[in-house]
Amino acid sequence: MTTVLFQRARVIDPRNGVDGVRDVLVTDGRVAQVSQGPLPAPKDARVVDATDKWLVPGFIDLHVHLREPGEEGKETVLTGCRAAVAGGFTGVVAMPNTKVVNDSALVTELVLSRARDADLCHVYPAGAITKGLKGEELSEAGELIGAGCVALTDDGRPVMNAGLMRRVLQYATQFDVPVMVHEEDLTLSAGGAMHEGATSTRLGLRGIPSSAEVAMVARDLVLLEETKGRLHVAHVSCEGSVRLIREAKKRGLRVTCEVAPHHFTLDDRAVGDYDTHAKMAPPLRSDVDVKALREALVDGTVDAIATDHAPHGVSDKLVEFEKGINGIVGLETALGLTLALVHEGVLTPRRAVELLSDGPARVFGLPGGHLAPGAPADITLLSPSEEWTVDAHRFYSRSRNTPFHGRTLKGRVTQTWVGGRCVFEDGQLKESR
Amino acid sequence: MRHLLGIAGWRRDELEALLDRAQAHLPGGPDASHVLRGRVVANLFFEDSTRTRSSFEVAARKLGADVLNWSYAGSSVSKGETLLDTARNIEAMGPAVIVIRHRSSGAPGLVARHVKCAVVNAGDGAHEHPSQALLDAFTLRQRWGRLDGRTVLIVGDVLHSRVARSNLLCLKALGARVVLCGPPTLLPPGLEEMGGEVTHQLDAVLPQADAVMCLRLQTERMSEAFLPSQREYSRLFGITPARAERMRPEALVLHPGPINRGVELSPVVADGPRSVILEQVANGVAVRRAVLEACAS
């Protein structure tokens, strides 16, 4: 294990209240020392000049679709991990809606084994709430968590049955893992292809009203209060949802939530002329919702920025808008889109880093997320003002479905370190094999 | 070559020029059988529509074109072929114009971005039906000369209507005031941003209208709970003889067809002196000749 000395970095470590120029020493895969004064370089240490760079806790993405097993043409655990580290992520939570669904230890172990083979970043599987995501019978949560799952979710689908949702919130309290929910009342969203508003009217597309999400958030908060469980609301997209979550937090409920970069960056007008790259679930909402999400990122209502990285093939998107499959890839654009909020003066650097690292680590109780001595040396080094143009064809992800192709972003990852090992540097992967 | 994907994007003078051109294609006009001689017009209909397809076919033949009629039933699409593959295969047969009807909004635009020939939208989902709007405007212009200062009332299921959207854009562009009327469940948000005025009170606005355009009511809207029943719809929004009595004496009635007689329009009104429904159909051929001519040139 190498010893590394990062010199003169701007270290931003929200959990430990650090924001200033520091030297950071890493030994044996862990942070050894964070010093205001210059540290002497130990013999054989790799010395990294981090002048003008930010050195921050490695990002953790609570919401990633790695597509393996079943849809390896779109992504695999390996290609997803490559995209993750290229985007500055040192840990990702893998959603269970693969084909085969992760509703058994067998699938969890398969994903973990692929992640060990990839040997790039931490992969934390999430297990399905219900068998086959059918919303009928509970999966064996104890087995899933025992095998390594860090949360339970039927992501991609809501749990429409309120009785069942109540039970899973109750049942999961014995393991103290969050129940992560995709909030969508299917009777309200039925047939909808995008947000209901002036754009859907102009395009003649069936709209999905905000109430499809907000009504389910309201329902689950009521159930949460009764069950004293832990609820994590995935990809919150609208004003009504953040308002309810903000109030629930004030009342002390154990609710957390995440927002995806595309939802705080784009509104429904991005669908433009039936651009399926702007088709996702939940849909891009109104400008009022975007503003509300930004406020919620600032005031602490939102705990984490999560990408909902959803790779799809070209043929899934090169079709009629209504037929287009939902989702965009997000791992490699998340930092640039988040830093756009910093450059616009919406978020402080510290808050932006918190939303990408400490916040998600706390929500799911994951290691990392901070840089105190003894913490795992999961580190992202970035150039906050470096401009680059998104070229989807150069993504490490196996898929290219993004509405941000061609957009110039400011802020780029220079190095990603996982457990004290450099896995990505200057645009190149550093794979162990 | 230019596509006709919708009324959106066309300027007033361009629309006027197209309508002027249609004038020359009315029966008795100069012989135009050489205009598309030796060229192919492909009709790609992914949705049933005898009326629109026949109208385009007659228009194309009168311009001397060979017509390739392709329909969804039993086609390669029902075997799983994608829209773009179908379109590219048709394109390989060398048409000058592809005319597309599709149940998905935006489908003709998708095809237009991937083929080299001109594409005419013959109705896509609830998006646009530009040739219908042009023939409606043509019919009104024939009666009135100009549309400036006139009020056109569009009544019915605006939510699912491509005819309503194209007409709203077209009539506004030509200077008319457009009022949209129907039950709240069938009037989508944002119509004002497209230039329309919205109301649910038919009897209050009916006396203001110079023309009333009825939209066809699909029976499945009842099962989807947009409406309690056809009976109630007819009572609140149907153009009955009693309502026709309260219209301006010279006010016209239009319908894109096919009519649900006795639902959105009573037979007496549909066949009465206010009705220009058959003129719409006749004008449709002239307007589509002008559209094909413009797109193929």
pLDDT in tens, A50-105: 999 999 999 999 999 999 999 999 999 999 999 999 999 999 999 999 999 999 99
Residues of A in contact with B194 (CB under 8 A): 198, 201-202
pLDDT band at A433 (very low <50, low <70, confident <90, very high): low
Q: How far apart are CA A139 and CA A144, in angstroms?
A: 8
CB-based burial of residue B98 (10 Å sphere; 0-12 exposed, 13-18 middle, 19+ buried)?
buried
Number of domains in chain B: 2
Residue type, A358: D
Instruction: Show residues of chain A in contact with B105, CB under 8 Å.
Output: 203-205, 274, 321-322
CA angle A31, A32, A37 (to 5 degrees): 110
Nearest one of A65, A72, A152, A147 to A106, comparing CA atoms: A147
pLDDT confidence band for B1 (50 / 70 / 90): low
Strands A428-429 and A421-425: antiparallel
Query: Are residues A196 and A223 in contact, defined by beta-carbon separation less than 8 angstroms?
Result: no
Same domain, yes or no: B133 and B198: yes
Among the partner residues A196, A274, A315, nearest to B106 by beta-carbon distance: A274
- Buried b / exposed e along A337-364 (16+ C-beta atoms within 10 A): bbbbbbeeebbebbbbbbbbbbbbbbbb
What per-residue confidence (pLDDT) applies to A1? Answer: 63
Chain B: residues touching A (Cβ < 8 Å):
8, 82-84, 102, 104-107, 109-110, 124-128, 162, 165, 188-191, 193-194
Interface touch A273/B109, C-beta < 8 Å: yes
Cα–Cα dist A25/A35, whole Å: 8
Percent of chain A with pLDDT over 70: 100
pLDDT band for B222, please (50, 70, 90 cuts). Answer: confident
pLDDT > 70 fraction of chain B, expressed in percent and rounded: 99
Mutate to test the interface with B, among A195, A200, A201, A210 (most CBs of B within 10 A): A201
Q: How many CB atoms lie within 10 A of CB B34?
A: 9
pLDDT at A165: 98
Distance from CA of B108 to the nearest CA of A (A): 9
Assess whether B88 and B138 both reside in one domain: no
Here the tokens at position B196 are: 């329309």
What's the Cα-to-Cα distance from A287 to each of A264, A266, A345, rounded to whole Å?
Answer: 9, 8, 18
Same domain, B139 and B95: no
B168 and B135, same structural domain?
A: yes
Q: Do residues B183 and B258 share a domain?
A: yes
SS3 labels along chain B = CCCECCCCCCCHHHHHHHHHHHHHCCCCCCCCCCCCCCCEEEEEECCCCHHHHHHHHHHHHHCCCEEEEEECCCCHHHHCCCHHHHHHHHHCCCCCEEEEEECCCCHHHHHHCCCCCEEEEEEECCCECHHHHHHHHHHHHHHHCCCCCCEEEEECCCCCCHHHHHHHHHHHHCCCEEEEECCHHHCCCCCHHHCCEEECCHHHHHHHCCEEEECCCCCHHHHCCCCCCHHHHHHHHCECHHHHHHCCCCCEEECCCCCCECCCECHHHHCCCCECHHHHHHHHHHHHHHHHHHHHC
**Rounded to whole angstroms, what are the CA distances from A67 to A71, A74, A283, A429, B35?**
5, 7, 21, 21, 54
Asked if A287 and A267 touch (Cβ cutoff 8 Å), the reply is: yes
Distance CA(A388)–CA(A261), nearest Å, equals 17
Question: Distance from A315 to chain B by nearest Cα, in Å?
Answer: 9
Lowest-confidence region among A66-75, B77-86, B240-249? B77-86
Q: Verify that B121 and B92 share a domain, yes or no.
A: yes
Classify residue A344 by its DSSP letter.
T
> Is the domain of B229 the same as that of B140?
yes
Q: Which of A199, A204, A207 sits opposite B125 (nearest CB)?
A: A204
**Interface-testing mutation among A195, A274, A277, A323, with chain B (most B C-beta atoms within 10 A):** A274
* Per-residue pLDDT tens over the stretch A149-192: 999 999 999 999 999 999 999 999 999 999 999 999 999 999 99
Over chain A, what is the mean pLDDT? 97
**Could you tell me whether strands A18-27 and A4-13 are parallel, antiparallel, or unpaired per DSSP bridges?**
antiparallel
Query: Within this chain, do residues B263 and B196 fall inside the same structural domain, yes or no?
Result: yes
Confidence bin at B221 (pLDDT 50/70/90): confident
Cα–Cα distance measured from residue A372 to residue A368, given in angstroms and rounded to the nearest whole number? 10
Which CATH number is B267's domain given?
3.40.50.1370
Residue B209 has pLDDT above 70, yes or no: yes
> In the Cβ-directed half-sphere of A396, how many Cα atoms lie within 13 Å?
24
Are the beta carbons of B105 and A205 separated by less than 8 Å? yes
Q: Bridge partners of A231?
A: A179, A255
Residues of chain B neighbouring A319 (CB-CB closer than 8 A): 82-84, 110
The CB-side HSE value for B234 (13 A sphere, CA atoms) comes to: 16
Q: Is B127 exposed, middle or buried (0-12, 13-18, 19+ CB in 10 A)?
A: buried
Q: Distance of alpha carbon B89 from its chain centroid, rounded?
A: 27
Q: What is the pLDDT of residue B91?
A: 96
Task: Give the pLDDT confidence of A135-153 residue by residue, as tens digits.
Answer: 999 999 999 999 999 999 9
Chain-wide mean pLDDT for chain B?
A: 95
**Alpha carbon of B259: minimum distance to chain A alpha carbons (Å):** 22
Answer for the pair B294, B64: CB distance below 8 angstroms, yes or no. Answer: no
CA separation for the pair A142, A169 (Å, rounded): 14
Predicted model pTM: 0.95
* Interatomic CA distance for residues A148 and B291, integer angstroms: 64
How far apart CA B297 and CA B286 sit, in angstroms, is: 17
- Please tell me whether the interface predicted TM-score (ipTM) of this complex is above 0.85: yes
The string of DSSP codes covering A92-137 is EEEPS-SSS-S-SHHHHHHHHHHHHHH-SSEEEE-B-SBGGG-SSS
> Is residue B94 domain-shared with residue B182, that is, in the same domain?
no
Contacts of B8 in chain A (CB under 8 A): 202
Three-state DSSP class for residue A272:
coil
Residues within 8 A of B (CB atoms), A 300-319 only? 315, 318-319
Chain A / chain B CB contacts < 8 angstroms: 68
Does one domain contain both B109 and B164?
Answer: no
* Domain that includes residue B32, residue range: 1-127+279-294
- As beta bridge partners, residue B2 has none
Residues B3 and B120 in one domain: yes
Q: Are A85 and A423 in contact (CB under 8 A)?
A: yes
User: Do B140 and B265 reside in the same domain of the chain?
Assistant: yes
**Chain A residues closer than 8 Å to B104 by CB:** 320-323
pLDDT attached to residue B283: 98
Among residues B10, B3, B1, B2, the alpha carbon closest in space to that of B166 is found at B10
Instruction: Give A245-266 pLDDT, tens digit per residue.
Output: 999 999 999 999 999 999 999 9
- Asked whether residue B125 is marked as a ligand-binding residue, the answer is no
**pLDDT tens per residue across span B118-157:** 999 999 999 999 999 999 999 999 999 999 999 999 999 9
Instruction: Determine how many CB atoms are found less than 10 A away from the CB of residue B126.
Output: 25
* Mean per-residue pLDDT, A107-119: 98
Binary contact (A201, B105; C-beta < 8 A): no
Give the pLDDT confidence score for residue B71 in this predicted structure: 84
Can A308 be counted among the known catalytic residues? yes
Task: Give chain B's largest Cα–Cα span.
Answer: 55
Strand partners, B250: none
Separation in Å, CA of A246 to nearest CA in chain B: 28
